[in-house]
A and B are shown apart, each in its own frame.
Chain A
Amino acid sequence: MIQLRNIDKYIDKRFQRTFILKGIDLNIEEGEFVTIMGPSGAGKSTLLNILGFLDDASEGEYKFLGEPVHNLSEKKKSEYHKSHIGFVFQAYHLLDELTVYENIEMPLLYRKVKSKQRKAMVADILDRFNIVAKKDLFPPQLSGGQQQVVGVARAIIGNPKLILADEPTGNLHSEQSEQIMDMFKKLNDDGVTIIQVTHSEKMAAYGNRIINLRDGALVQEDPYEGETAG
């Protein structure tokens, strides 16, 4: 599904080039549940953003579903955002002016889903995540965990093939975190590819593969380590 070849990301400042990522080679197949780990500043979020087309790599080759990403037009990228990729953020990034229902509905609007079908889909998700009672509340009225549940609901309502989660449980206490991770696990069992960034070994254990980043480079890539830990 994802092939990275020799990806670099750097910032040029005057005469100095600072590398954030350097020489990343990575393959991720469909159906994997990958965890990216590493200390602060290692470039985890940057890698995730590149994977989600939110950021461009400075050098290197990135193929998504066999198609080179650096050749994709803005339009094509937003097509992929609509149909293939869902995002979950540490800070939830729900729109404060919209209710829970409307936040979850928004991706469908960009996908031009018919009103009736939209209602059915949102109702279904609300039910599945057990937040029907909260549908008319605004995000600031919810607890962090509840907001993240909404965030996940929004990410998956369009049936994405890939979910990118940037420290999804970073702001949550353990019980809430487990709830979110259980959701991911279930989705992964249904065949959705998940790539998450986390600091927590415990959360990493939900995945089946761990990628360690240090100073912008892959330290270790052991496809079996995750399995034994899980």
Chain B
Amino acid sequence: MFKNYLKIAFRHLVKNKSYTFINTLGLGVGLAACIIIGLWVNYELSYDDYHKNSEQIYRVLNGDVAAIPPTLAPTFKSDYPDLAKDVVRFWPIKSPSDIVYKDKRFAEQNITFTDPGIFDVFTHPMILGDKETALSSSHRIVISESMAEKYFGEETPLGKTITMWGQNLEVTGVFEDVPLNSHHRYDFLVPIELLHTFMGNMMENWTWAGFYTYMLLPENVQPIQVETAIASTYDKYTEEEFPAPQLQPLNDIYFGSAEKDIAITGNFNYVFILASIAIIVLIVACVNFMNLSTAYSTMRKKEVGMRKTLGAQRNQLIGQFLGEAILLSLMGLSVALILVEISLPFFSNFTGNPLAIPYESNWGTILGFVGLALFVGTFSGSYPAFFLSGFRPIHALKETTRTASSGGGLRKGLVVFQFVVSIFLIVAALTVYSQLNFMQEKDLGFSDEQVIITGAENYQAFKGELEKTPGVQKVSAAQSVPGQRFPFYPIRTADMAPDSLPTMRTLRVNPGFIETLGMEMTMGRSFDEEIPTDATQSFVINQAAANYLGWNDPIGQELSWYDFSEDGSSFEVAKQGEVIGVVDDFNYASLHNPVEPLIIHVSQDINMAVIKLHSEDTGKTIAQIKESWNSISPGSYFWHYFLDDELDRQYGAEQKLGQLFGGLTLLALFIACLGLFGLTAFSTQQRTKEIGIRKVMGAGVQQIVVLLNTEVVKMVTLSLIIAIPNGWQILPTALKLASVFLQWRA
């Protein structure tokens, strides 16, 4: 019996080649989109899952700030040994540092100071060395596999000495590279003990919030117990007021980034939106299938009638037609897998996630795919199956072929549905694009073109050389530049209550910074090198700060700015002076957020040089700059980047989302058109006789074309009328849904 079904299904498919082709292609494209997006979603959701204890690992947050004092971990460990198996601190360095081995010297970004317990909490298999002792004394360093390759090649890294920050460190271990689906990035692990050498008393400071602290909880301990214990630790050891501590599960970190977060964070909205679109594309493909199979069902009427008169029961027929649908969807699946194989490398490259179909690792994947095909087949085949098997034999066998009209209303409805969905997607994609454009074209409040950022070693000498270089327009320096996070420091004004100490983002610069980046002053003046008091007792604030402080006329207002005391144990007034100017708000963080209040003052505590170039022949100018650098700071690594490139990169994720969105939308539209094409071809075929008669009566080609296309035009117009007025609300609704999902997931 089954063989008979299979035979008739195959012969039917071979006979109606265009039907088979359209259905297989549509389903194949839909499934391929679903599989690729599914792999991507799975990858995004897999962040930090690879740690053996990932369920038991938590990160400590103060309120919603991820960076907390270095003192908490050791204190908590000794006070509450039962509540945490281990507590590990991370202190990733902020700007590149040189790592030197013999003649090899590279500026490395991924250097993290940490506690020896890191290997007990996180799963980082060691290739060489003993994880118990690898970080157990200060002058040691553990490196990743790829760094071992980079610095040591064929040599054994163990026992070799490399130099960082002028310290000689012994390589005591090599660990497997951190997987890309980790929110951590480190290639070099250095004991926090070494940090004591540099930071001294700061390490006992309860106000220095710069460390990321992770805990491995025993199975029977609830996070709430630990949170309470942390709160009482704060109460016991420090006067400082902290927001309520929270434990954030490791697996939530990637999507639930905190204030001052460590590094890589994802966006659950993107995951949700793309997953929804992929499913929509698949549904559109399924609808195609339903439509075409019901249309073509008129061809199977006779078969249904005959089988029924021969004694077939309805459920047998349903089984037969469902089976055919599943057969088609399995064919679609194989097309999909081929498409996925072809396009996955491009997609991986595009998203930066190493995606692959895990064929070899588990049967579950293959079963999952077959399951997906079965589901799609059943879902899209159920309606045609019931429709077909419901024919009464007497009608089915009658010679009068009631052609495509039966079930035509529903079919038209489904076509309209497809187009409405596709147009919705187009409108939503346009919304994403226009938002992106808005962000990219919005005035930043400063000029980021032709500006390069370099290191600031021996800055004064370097600056002298730069000013002599013909291609350089202006030079200045700063501790950080737009696109980076500016740190918070306490400030006080005369009108404030004595015990209040609000913090404000602070930018430390050299004179000329404001001019170099072409910012506008709304009031007063900017820093001047010729006026000595500008370096010691002057501040420039931005407009947001003036508003925040409630000053209508900020010029001349008194202000105190606080920094750590010498021993690092508390804050003390570091600079006192008056406001000399107000700079117009410029976007130094993200365009997603409003500009925050900012205080700018002159300092020699600088990290990078900001160089504005003339537009012609920048390559040559940069080569000259590098030459100057090498002659002034020989042996130090010259790094540089263009500020506009870096800022554009911030919106890279959105850009990619927009492109993916657009791509999937086009796929949906393509599939819908494919279906409409199939239906039109079918109905034209059915109307051959009508067309013949009309032609004999004198109808021209044009009239025939109009006749055949009126239906299509009607359906597409109706879709437009439904979709366009409502389309604008889709994206906000989707985002709302996404946030609901995220909460539900957490």
Contact = CB atoms under 8 A, between A and B. Distances in A.
Nearest to B393: A54
A150 to B, nearest CB: 12
A81 B309 contact: yes
A111 interface: yes
Main SS at interface, chain B: helix
B310 A74 contact: no
Interface string A137-181: 000000000000000001000000000000000000000000000
A95 B313 contact: no
B4 A109 contact: yes
A49 interface: yes
B495 interface: no
Contacts of A91: 399
Given A93-B302, A98-B8, A106-B4, A81 B310 contact: yes
Contact of A98 (B7, B305, B397): B7
Contacts of B4: 98, 102, 105-106, 109
A89 B303 CA distance: 13
B12 A93 contact: no
B438 to A, nearest CB: 58
Interface in B291-308: 302-303, 305-308
Contact of A54 (B309, B311, B314): B309
Contacts of A52: 309
Contacts of A75: 313
A102 B316 contact: no
Nearest to A166: B397
A54 B396 CA distance: 10
B159 to A, nearest CB: 76
Nearest to B14: A97
B312 interface: yes
B323 to A, nearest CB: 14
A84 to B, nearest CB: 10
A152 B369 CA distance: 46
A81 B8 contact: no
A52 B394 CA distance: 10
A87 B307 CA distance: 11
B310 A97 contact: no
Given A54-B393, A81-B309, A110 B316 contact: yes
Interface in B516-542: none
Interface in A94-110: 94-95, 97-98, 102, 105-107, 109-110
Interface residues of A, number: 28
B94 interface: no
B399 A82 contact: no
Given A93-B305, A97-B12, A97-B15, A74 B313 contact: yes
A172 B283 CA distance: 49
A109 B313 CA distance: 12
Given A54-B393, A81-B311, A102 B7 contact: yes
A78 interface: yes
B394 A55 contact: yes
Interface string A61-99: 000000000000011001101110001010101110110
Interface in B263-314: 302-303, 305-314
Nearest to B2: A109
Interface residues on B, range: 20 to 34
B17 to A, nearest CB: 14
B8 A95 contact: yes
B623 interface: no
B313 A97 contact: no
Given A81-B310, A110-B311, A54 B8 contact: no
B311 A97 contact: no
B11 interface: yes
A154 B307 CA distance: 12
B394 A49 contact: yes
A7 B4 CA distance: 39
Contacts of A98: 4, 7-8, 11
A102 B7 CA distance: 10
A55 B392 CA distance: 8
A78 B397 contact: no
Contact of A78 (B7, B15, B313, B394): B313
A75 B393 CA distance: 14
A54 B391 CA distance: 11
Contact of A97 (B1, B8, B305, B309): B8
B314 A74 contact: yes
A137 B414 CA distance: 40
Lowest 7 A-B CB distances belong to which pairs? A82-B311, A81-B311, A97-B11, A110-B311, A54-B394, A107-B310, A55-B394
Given A95-B302, A97-B8, A110-B316, 14 more contacts: A54-B309, A54-B394, A54-B397, A83-B311, A91-B399, A93-B302, A93-B306, A95-B306, A97-B7, A97-B15, A97-B303, A98-B4, A98-B11, A110-B1
21 contacts: A49-B394, A52-B309, A54-B309, A54-B392, A54-B397, A75-B313, A79-B311, A87-B309, A89-B397, A93-B306, A93-B397, A95-B303, A97-B11, A97-B303, A102-B4, A105-B4, A106-B307, A109-B4, A110-B307, A110-B312, A111-B311
